[in-house]
Structure 1
Amino acid sequence: MQLVVARIGRAHGIKGEVTVEVRTDEPELRLGPGAVLATDPASTGPLTIETGRVHSGRLLLRFEGVHDRTGAEALRNTLLIADVDPDERPEEDDEYYDHQLIDLDVVLTDGTEVGRITEISHLPSQDLFIVERPDGTEVMIPFVGEIVTEIDLDEQRAVIDPPPGLIDDRAEIASARDDETDGNDD
């Protein structure tokens, strides 16, 4: 299985280094020296990481055969893709790779269908499940223990217990408000 693990950003300096936007929880495993990565577009790769370092909070990489700014600039916006064993699991029991979560069915604790995870958005404060509902709309579910109560990879489902308003349709909320006000016609 292939996973996007980073996107190449700007050239850094004049010796072929580039900044990378990391898209993996394990950059030390996927983006270390010697790693061979496929690319999108495929015409730019595969690329072999020669060196890597952190500078001012950003990961900088240099690839074999790219030793000047011009070569580094030509790689900008290229996606780096790693081969990953589909059965590989993170070390911690409560951690998951994105590919394990994509396409899981999302249900409420009572079994009510919410939708299907189509994307994981990694934000600085927390990760979000992007869930496509049966009607084609999307809802964002924070991937936190208080809301996502269970991930069952064998059953291919994520069980959630959302707070009021997180996944409710605006029409349902408006209808509930109307019902409340209809009963107050004293």
Structure 2
Amino acid sequence: MIEITLVRGDITQQHVDAIVNAANSSLLGGGGVDGAIHRRGGPEILAECRALRASHYGKGLRTGQAVATTAGRLDARHVIHTVGPVWSREEDRSALLASCYRESLRVAAELGAGTVAFPAISTGIYGWPIDDGARIAIRTVRAAAVAPITEVRFVLFDEHAYKAFETALAAQG
């Protein structure tokens, strides 16, 4: 069974096997978590992302998919890039958000990762309501648990996000 832990802090400072990046589809860096991972991880991550764009992902990474690169200078072995959906009032995109977590865990397991750190995917600039995002994240990770992963750590930037994930975790016991 996977242990789910919550941490308030900076995902780029986590000592884990794999850090999940809430990437944009270009894989070439951006703002928020994506920008922080690229800045702290160094040029090695961007170089691998460019190689991915030149080969399998010429049009970019599709929403809900995941792909891994080196972690560069981060205290991790891998960065798993996933593109979260932009929240919409008109269209239910929750299956795409769940796919980000599920696909990231699948890639992590293929890499032999035992510990994985996630941000709150899509809850920043993509506008996903934090309470719903937390519920989907916790539910999906619990359902998608796969060996050799033993710990999933949600690294949450502020107290509001931490409280939302704490509530979701307690509710799903």
RCO greater where, 1 or 2, for CA within 8 Å and sep 6 or more? 2
Alignment TM-score > 0.5, same fold: no
Q: Which has the higher strand share?
A: 1
Q: Which has the higher helix share?
A: 2
Normalised TM-score (structure 1) = 0.27
